[in-house]
């Protein structure tokens, strides 16, 4: 391409075809009037080629030679580097052949040397008679490795030394961005990521020194975030990640220290509005494994902060002037072959003085955390009455069910355990709940849920509502199978449950004050026709439930979120649409018209009684008011996609991970 025009007009001068794919910039090199190209062709059994092209006449490019790598037939092409009249090429199938090419005669390029070593190289850095390579050591798992080769003899390259990092499996940001790997004289700065049983996941900058005699592994520092670049300045090294700039004192390379850290970005996992003037950012730190909670004077001015170890953050809740953090501690190795069980960690942080938050308790709850599950389509019979009626849900892919919630001024943790303090229900329990008090932070009791299948567990005022189901039959040879849905109220203080009552569907919401149940049901008819219903029922929490109303909801509806008198649904129907149903005082259901939010993709992430909040692609959060007919009232451009919306007294907040927090109108 002729790019000499200062106005920017580019002109094609010449072109030439080479076999296969040219994967990256290291596969191309112009040396004098010769272009050298290494390519890999996937058909014909996967072949690697070197092509030389005469550049003397840009308007008439001519291929000078094409050299197939016969010994690399079937291999994948990895690292390539040109160095004057030489080229170094690495391919891999079972072992890593390093090919050394003599390109001094572009009409007759030759493979002069070859060396097979385990694993493969992803990057090559020539250093005179030596090559330093970054790659993968696959002798024990797949670990980041650095190799030193002697290539003084073109015909007889040799491996001088190789060192590897990590336990079993590790990886490097430099695999995809070679500038993350750096050489400073005799010092190599090698980024790698991994996981160990002792510290969990980590992001690390490893120092290695090299000489013609070999490689010496020196010390390392752990960083917050994956390394993007390192640099050396005066007596310091610097590590740049997407999250921080770390100043590193490596005067003792065997024991380098991070002297200072400048935060560039933080992963905001959640936000907890406490009152009109104070909110709390919940920030997860991958490198340390800790959670940072920081008070924000609203509107969004940073105040005091405290770092808390709760393992892997699962949930965060505002509770009075405090924030409750729930995390999961994954199994740890106790000895060879012996591991601890997973458990919950709960912490309470007091923000009475936002400038100086205090840890007000940390509790390890020795139960196994419960996780939601995926559910799959199953058929059922139609039904419309409650008197002993049998119902079968359409089992659908669901989001992970919430592990924790607050009910009756206590924290409820869904869990699994070998033994419980109490049991409700008559079946063998497959799961239960742990009840934690806040003042002081303590485990009150564990309660086993002795039901055939537990579909949902949620807060219902001072109690917990448990949705269950029972298979009615298993013979599906001639007709669809059936199931019965039930609900029961669980008193978490006294560890007692009321009778299970048959209801037509899964619980979407229960209002104890009004006794109104909102249910979502899935139905297959005898002709295998499918429908989905929204139903309401009146239930006093003890006796039988009375069906009030039932409507069909739009086909393909994904999420159903009930908020007071409204139920929101989203569905793809020639675009992404929102629907809102209004629930009357006597349980009547009125379904509104669908509102087209976007012709692309979206997701319903939160709602109040009057408005729904949806993500629009990756670029915006939209607020739709349903005080009247559904209409777009606000559109806030963002980076990232929120998984939840938190509601304060005067604003809504969307945590966006590394992109901070978006504030939205209520």
Q: What is the DSSP letter of 179?
A: G
Question: How many residues are present in the chain?
Answer: 666
Q: At 20, phi and psi to the nearest 5? A: 80, -150
Residue 56: predicted pLDDT: 95
Query: Do 293 and 325 meet the contact criterion of CB atoms below 8 Å apart?
Result: yes
Q: Give the integer Cα–Cα distance in Å for 346 and 316.
A: 10
Structure tokens at 593: 């018209």
Kindly list the distances between the CA atom of residue 194 and the CA atoms of 180, 218, 253, 291, 584, in Å, as whole numbers in the listed order.
Answer: 16, 18, 21, 20, 55
Q: Give the integer Cα–Cα distance in Å for 1 and 59.
A: 10
Q: Give the integer Cα–Cα distance in Å for 246 and 263.
A: 9
Q: ∠ CA 522-525-529 to the nearest 5 degrees?
A: 85
Query: Do 602 and 611 meet the contact criterion of CB atoms below 8 Å apart?
Result: no
Query: Do 415 and 404 meet the contact criterion of CB atoms below 8 Å apart?
Result: no
Over residues 309-351, the pLDDT tens digits come to 999 999 999 999 999 999 999 877 666 666 678 899 999 999 9
3-state secondary structure of 171: strand
Instruction: Please determine, for residue 479, whether its predicted confidence score (pLDDT) is greater than 90.
Output: no
Listed as own residue / partner, the contacts of 256-263 with beta carbons closer than 8 Å and 24 or more positions apart are: 256/207, 256/218, 256/219, 256/220, 256/221, 257/221, 258/221, 258/223, 261/224, 263/224
3-state secondary structure of 301: strand
pLDDT band at 289 (very low <50, low <70, confident <90, very high): confident
pLDDT more than 90, % of the chain: 75
Once rounded to an integer, what is the mean pLDDT over residues 562-586?
Answer: 94
Terminal-to-terminal C-alpha distance of the chain: 55
Instruction: Please determine, for residue 385, whether its predicted confidence score (pLDDT) is greater than 50.
Output: no
Over residues 7-63, the pLDDT tens digits come to 999 999 999 999 999 999 999 999 999 999 999 998 777 899 999 999 999 999 999
Q: At 6, phi and psi to the nearest 5? A: -65, -20
Structure tokens at 372: 């939601």
Q: Give the integer Cα–Cα distance in Å for 398 and 646.
A: 21
Q: Give the integer Cα–Cα distance in Å for 279 and 591.
A: 36
Query: Do 318 and 274 meet the contact criterion of CB atoms below 8 Å apart?
Result: yes
Structure tokens at 96: 């890593």
Query: Do 537 and 519 meet the contact criterion of CB atoms below 8 Å apart?
Result: yes
Among 95-99, 519-523, 548-552, 561-565, which is the least confidently predicted range?
95-99
Q: Give the integer Cα–Cα distance in Å for 568 and 580.
A: 5
Among 31-35, 131-135, 205-209, 383-387, which is the least confidently predicted range?
383-387
Residue 458: predicted pLDDT: 95
Query: Do 322 and 349 meet the contact criterion of CB atoms below 8 Å apart?
Result: yes
How many helices and strands (H and E) does the chain possess?
A: 0, 58
Structure tokens at 622: 């939209």
Got the DSSP string for 509-533?
EEETTTTEEEEEEEEE-TT--EEEE
Contacts of 307 (CB under 8 A, 6+ apart): 285, 288, 290, 291, 292
Residue 350: predicted pLDDT: 97
Closest to 586 in 3D by CA, of 516, 497, 485, 504: 516
Residue 617: predicted pLDDT: 87
- Looking up tokens 């003890």 gives 542
Residue 476: predicted pLDDT: 53
Query: Do 240 and 656 meet the contact criterion of CB atoms below 8 Å apart?
Result: no
Once rounded to an integer, what is the mean pLDDT over residues 157-170?
Answer: 93
Burial class (CB in 10 A: 0-12, 13-18, 19+), 338: exposed
Contacts of 44 (CB under 8 A, 6+ apart): none
The β-bridge partners of 572 are 576
Q: Where are the beta strands (DSSP E) in 197-300?
A: 200-211, 214-223, 227-233, 236-241, 244-249, 257-263, 267-273, 278-284, 291-297
Once rounded to an integer, what is the mean pLDDT over residues 513-521?
Answer: 95
Q: ∠ CA 396-399-400 to the nearest 5 degrees?
A: 120
């Amino acid at each position: 391409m002729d790019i000499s025009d200062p106005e920017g007009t580019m002109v094609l001068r010449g072109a030439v075809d080479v076999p296969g794919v040219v994967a990256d910039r290291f596969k191309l090199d112009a040396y004098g009037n010769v272009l050298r190209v290494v390519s890999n062709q996937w058909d014909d059994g996967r072949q690697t080629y070197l092509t030389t092209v005469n550049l003397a006449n840009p308007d008439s490019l001519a291929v000078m030679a094409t050299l197939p790598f016969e010994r690399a037939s079937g291999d994948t092409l990895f690292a390539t580097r040109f160095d004057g009249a030489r080229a170094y090429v690495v391919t891999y199938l079972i072992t890593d052949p390093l090919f050394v090419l003599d390109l001094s005669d572009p009409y007759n390029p030759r493979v002069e040397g070859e060396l097979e070593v385990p694993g493969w190289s992803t990057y090559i850095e020539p250093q005179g008679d030596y090559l330093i390579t970054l790659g993968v050591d696959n002798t024990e798992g797949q670990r980041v490795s650095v190799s030193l080769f002697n290539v003084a003899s073109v015909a007889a390259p040799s491996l001088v030394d190789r060192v590897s990092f990590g336990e079993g499996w590790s990886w490097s940001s430099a695999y995809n961005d070679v500038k993350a790997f750096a050489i400073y004289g005799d010092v190599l700065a090698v980024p790698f990521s991994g996981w160990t049983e002792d510290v969990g996941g980590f992001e690390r900058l490893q120092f290695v020194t090299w000489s013609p005699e070999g490689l010496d592994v020196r010390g390392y520092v752990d960083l917050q975030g994956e390394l993007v670049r390192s640099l050396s300045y005066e007596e310091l090294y610097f590590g740049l990640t997407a999250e921080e700039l770390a100043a590193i004192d490596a005067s003792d390379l065997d024991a380098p220290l991070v002297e200072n850290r400048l935060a560039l970005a933080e992963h905001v996992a959640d936000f907890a509005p406490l009152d009109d003037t104070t909110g709390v950012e919940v920030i997860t730190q991958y490198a340390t494994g800790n959670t940072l909670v920081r008070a924000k004077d609203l509107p969004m001015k940073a105040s005091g902060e405290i770092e808390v170890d709760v393992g892997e953050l699962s949930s965060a809740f505002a509770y009075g002037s405090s924030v409750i953090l729930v995390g999961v501690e994954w199994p740890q190795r106790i000895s060879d072959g012996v591991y601890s069980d997973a458990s919950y960690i709960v912490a309470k942080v007091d923000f009475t003085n936002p400038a100086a938050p205090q840890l007000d308790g940390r509790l390890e709850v020795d139960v196994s955390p419960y996780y939601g599950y995926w559910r799959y389509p199953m058929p059922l019979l139609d039904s419309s009455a409650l008197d002993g009626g049998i119902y079968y849900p359409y089992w659908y892919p669901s989001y992970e069910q919430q592990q924790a919630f607050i009910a009756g001024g206590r924290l409820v943790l869904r869990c699994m355990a070998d033994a419980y303090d109490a049991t409700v229900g008559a079946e063998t329990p497959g799961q239960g709940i742990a009840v934690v008090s806040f003042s002081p932070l303590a485990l009150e009791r564990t309660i086993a849920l002795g039901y055939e299948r537990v579909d949902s567990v949620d807060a219902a005022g001072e109690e917990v509502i448990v949705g269950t189901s029972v298979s009615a039959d298993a013979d599906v040879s001639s007709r669809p199978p059936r199931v019965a849905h039930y609900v029961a109220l669980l008193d978490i203080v006294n560890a007692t449950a009321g009778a299970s009552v048959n209801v037509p569907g899964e619980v979407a919401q229960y209002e104890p004050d009004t006794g109104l149940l909102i249910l979502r049901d899935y139905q297959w008819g005898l002709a295998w026709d499918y429908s989905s219903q929204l139903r309401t029922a009146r239930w006093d929490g003890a006796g039988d439930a009375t069906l009030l109303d039932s409507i069909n909801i739009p086909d393909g509806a994904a999420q159903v979120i009930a908020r007071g008198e409204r139920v929101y649904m989203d569905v793809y129907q020639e675009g992404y649409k929102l629907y809102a149903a209004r629930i009357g005082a006597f349980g009547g259901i009125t379904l509104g018209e669908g509102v087209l939010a976007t012709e692309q993709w979206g997701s319903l992430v939160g709602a109040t009684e009057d408005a729904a909040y949806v993500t629009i692609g990756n670029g915006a959060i939209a607020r739709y008011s349903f005080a009247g007919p559904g209409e777009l009232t606000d559109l806030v451009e963002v980076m990232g996609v929120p998984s939840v919306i938190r509601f304060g007294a005067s604003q809504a907040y969307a945590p966006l991970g590394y992109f901070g927090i978006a504030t939205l109108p209520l």
